[in-house]
A and B are shown apart, each in its own frame.
Chain A
Amino acid sequence: MSKQQISGGEALVKALEHEGVDVMFGLPGGAILPVYDPIIESSIRHVLVRHEQGAGHMAEGYAHATGRPGVAMVTSGPAATNMVTPLCDAFLDSVPMVCITGQVPYAAIGTDAFQECDTTGITMAVTKHNFLVSEAQDIPRIIHEAFHIATTGRPGPVLVDIPKDIVDPSSPRAAMNWYQASDADMELPGYNPVMEGDRELIRQAAEMIRDAERPVLYVGGGVLRARAAEALLELAEMVQIPVVTTLMARGAFPDRHDLCLGMPGMHGNYTAVTAIQQSDLLVSLGARFDDRVTGKLDGFAPDAKIIHVDIDPAELGKVRQVNVGIQGDCKLVIESLIEALRELGGVETHADRQAWRSTVSGWQERFPLVYQQSEPGEKLKPQFVIEQLRDNNPSDTIVCSGVGQHQMYTSQWWKFDHPYTFINSGGLGTMGFSIPAAIGAKTGMPDRRVWAVDGDGCFQMTAQELVTSTVEDIPIKVALLNNSYLGMVRQWQEMFYDRRYSEVHLSDRVPDYVKWAESMGCEAIRVESPEEVEPAIVKANEINDRSVVVEFRTDARENVFPMVASGKTNSEIQVDPSQEGLLR
């Protein structure tokens, strides 16, 4: 390869192009200025955000929807600290993401220079790995390493901090000989993710599945990260075992499938929660026994043996002792498991699960999700709004949610029949996630319809990115469930703090969401009665040249059920008040 002298800034942009980056989300500033100059000529589309946090969540939304790493680029100091929340969000939900931050010149590091902060120090605990690049010559190699680390093994965010003097053409330290880095250039002696599961352990797991009378497939976000939804469907249909999909795995197994029990956990449905609880075998695939799923740990699935499959060996046995722990990529392990089960003989050699199946379907019949429709004059029921959204959109619609009651309603009431159609903030629970994530998803999947389901608390945190959507022509649709409250906190105060409502009421008067949305270039619709809901959704779906915000005025008294209260076991699940009589 011919040696070409270029600046570190040009090398950085070239390196990103070589990694296949087609779009990045960012906002320029002093320290990163030299990198923004070559972006003018680059094939990479740059989406200019209104707040750096938005760039991070857009990169996440892009990654969730496409499976490709999301890329964000911002300057030093406050821009880097604004990126901490999305990095942590991506870290907890294992989202592949590469974030480039500017840094003050190398010699100025540690002098409290203008807009200096210890970015690698601050982000150490919220990234899979981070780099502070000291020489321009290292840029192509480190960018390649960053993408490799972000996308392999357990995916996650990687940050690359770039001092200004190694990218600024006026600095002698920025001169470098261009090379296109390949795997052979990587210097990562301590990083070797294991992909294939251990054959013997897989055989043991297959035997446990064969012999189980009350098994459940407990599916987590790792199945989506491994692009293993098809393999999972084959496994579930082969062994005819019911499937629960966690908040991070909604859509990994089709909700409409007979074997699908839906979401377990704190606001999971009765059948999913109870099936786990009474199972004799839990086959955990890419899930991590999060406290929102297990409830009080020492009462979690007390009779269940555990098969735990995860690419991250630190997850195996971290929360719950396992009987068989298999380190490996979910797709490869599921495929090997199918093979091992075949070798053991067909499903007719398995334990009799007839009783289990009828028990489970009995729960489904007795404890469906329910809500009471609003009386005339009452505000809208949020569940009704989600149902109407679901019924008036194609099943491959990408749905992004914020965090709170509206997130749980969305997970419960939408039917997720395709992988990568539900994007939300699970581990970190980041309010304000949905709008920027939806913009990121739409950027990556421009032909798909993208709805953000948001609450009014969340909306006020990141709504300014709708300006980004207008200016950059990335039209999304926002269903704003406005109950004027921090709804989930209100629910906890009602249930666990004696209805003493402390700092949860936002305002019935301001902001005027319609005016606000219109001022950002969006079409805006306010909906107050049930008969207006469907027409408003239909109208929103007909508008594709700009973003649409539909404000639904919803009933603040509505609570999310079922609920496993914090500190309780899954056996103490509270169903909707109308179903309480059905519990023994």
Chain B
Amino acid sequence: MNSATPTQRWHTIVTTVENKPGVLARVAGLFSRRGYNIHSLAVAPTDDERFSRITFTVDVEGSPLDQVVKQLNKLINVVEIRELDPLDAVERELMLVTVCADAGHRHDLLELIDDWRAFVLSENDSEIMLSLSARPARLDEFEASLRPFGIAKLQRTGRVALPSLD
């Protein structure tokens, strides 16, 4: 599970690709062939349904990211590629998490949810499922603060990013 915050070693790459079968496999294959691990991945069509945007973060410590970007660019189905500097980009990630909420701790948990402006999506006597959309680093913090209550299930989407507006 990710506990790192974006530093030099994590890179966010945003690619616009043709929305066709097999394109994700081509992109992912380029990374695995060179021994790079894709840390997080988000894929969805853009406003133009002929194209999809793939946002991924990669751990490229000690390896030239430049070479990956150039190789990605060689893929026929990759239309555009850019590396986003976290300082010049808006990044968001969505987390769904089910937390233990027995009577003794339920009040504290609801207070925490309120503080973080998370949403309760579903609940029963023993658990609460909630969602939060935030910067990945904020989700890390939120996750840490939930941990003492007991996390039953957790799923994050992987980050999506767009360049900031000047």
A interface residues, Cβ below 8 angstroms from B: 120-121, 124-125, 128-129, 132, 149, 188-191, 312-314, 317-318
Q: Which of A132, A188, A317 contacts B76 (CB 8 A)?
A: A188
A189 engages B29 (CB within 8 Å): no
- Could you tell me the distance between the alpha carbons of A121 and B28 in the complex, rounded to whole angstroms? 12
Residue on A nearest B81 in the bound complex, by CB: A190
Chain B CB within 10 A, most for which of A129, A191, A314: A314
- Could you tell me the distance between the alpha carbons of A317 and B71 in the complex, rounded to whole angstroms? 13
Q: Mark B20-38, 1 if CB is under 8 A from A, else 0.
A: 0110011001000100000
B29 engages A190 (CB within 8 Å): no
- Could you tell me the distance between the alpha carbons of A317 and B67 in the complex, rounded to whole angstroms? 9
Q: Which residues of B contact A314 (CB under 8 A)?
A: 67, 70-71, 73-74
B interface residues, Cβ below 8 angstroms from A: 17-18, 21-22, 25-26, 29, 33, 66-67, 70-71, 73-80
- Could you tell me the distance between the alpha carbons of A314 and B34 in the complex, rounded to whole angstroms? 14
Closest Cβ of chain A to B65, distance in Å, is 13
A124 engages B71 (CB within 8 Å): no
Beyond contacts A120-B22, A125-B33, A190-B76: 14 other A-B pairs, Cβ-Cβ < 8 A, are A121-B25, A124-B22, A128-B76, A129-B75, A132-B21, A132-B22, A149-B76, A190-B75, A190-B77, A190-B80, A313-B70, A314-B70, A314-B74, A317-B66
- Could you tell me the distance between the alpha carbons of A190 and B52 in the complex, rounded to whole angstroms? 13
B74 engages A312 (CB within 8 Å): yes
Q: Which residues of A contact B70 (CB under 8 A)?
A: 313-314, 318
- Could you tell me the distance between the alpha carbons of A124 and B71 in the complex, rounded to whole angstroms? 14
Q: Which residues of A contact B18 (CB under 8 A)?
A: 189-190
Residue on B nearest A187 in the bound complex, by CB: B18
Q: Which residues of B contact A121 (CB under 8 A)?
A: 22, 25
B29 engages A124 (CB within 8 Å): yes
Q: Which residues of B contact A128 (CB under 8 A)?
A: 76
Closest 7 CB pairs of A and B: A314-B70, A190-B79, A129-B76, A191-B76, A190-B78, A189-B79, A314-B71
B76 engages A318 (CB within 8 Å): no
- Could you tell me the distance between the alpha carbons of A266 and B13 in the complex, rounded to whole angstroms? 38
Residue on A nearest B15 in the bound complex, by CB: A190
Residue on B nearest A130 in the bound complex, by CB: B22
Residue on B nearest A314 in the bound complex, by CB: B70
Q: Which of A124, A189, A317 contacts B26 (CB 8 A)?
A: A124
Closest Cβ of chain A to B34, distance in Å, is 11
Can you list 21 A-B pairs with a CB-CB distance of less than 8 A? A120-B22, A121-B22, A121-B25, A124-B26, A124-B29, A125-B29, A125-B33, A132-B21, A132-B22, A149-B76, A189-B18, A189-B79, A190-B17, A190-B76, A190-B78, A190-B80, A313-B73, A314-B70, A314-B71, A314-B73, A318-B70
Q: Which residues of A contact B71 (CB under 8 A)?
A: 314
Q: Which residues of A contact B33 (CB under 8 A)?
A: 125
Closest Cβ of chain A to B24, distance in Å, is 12
Q: Which residues of B contact A189 (CB under 8 A)?
A: 18, 79
A318 engages B74 (CB within 8 Å): no
- Could you tell me the distance between the alpha carbons of A224 and B67 in the complex, rounded to whole angstroms? 25
Q: Which residues of B contact A149 (CB under 8 A)?
A: 76
Residue on B nearest A129 in the bound complex, by CB: B76
Q: Which residues of A contact B26 (CB under 8 A)?
A: 124
- Could you tell me the distance between the alpha carbons of A132 and B25 in the complex, rounded to whole angstroms? 14
Residue on B nearest A192 in the bound complex, by CB: B79
Closest Cβ of chain B to A287, distance in Å, is 17
Closest Cβ of chain B to A325, distance in Å, is 11
- Could you tell me the distance between the alpha carbons of A418 and B1 in the complex, rounded to whole angstroms? 60
- Could you tell me the distance between the alpha carbons of A436 and B165 in the complex, rounded to whole angstroms? 59
Q: Which residues of B contact A125 (CB under 8 A)?
A: 29, 33
Residue on A nearest B26 in the bound complex, by CB: A124
Residue on B nearest A158 in the bound complex, by CB: B76
Q: Which residues of B contact A317 (CB under 8 A)?
A: 66
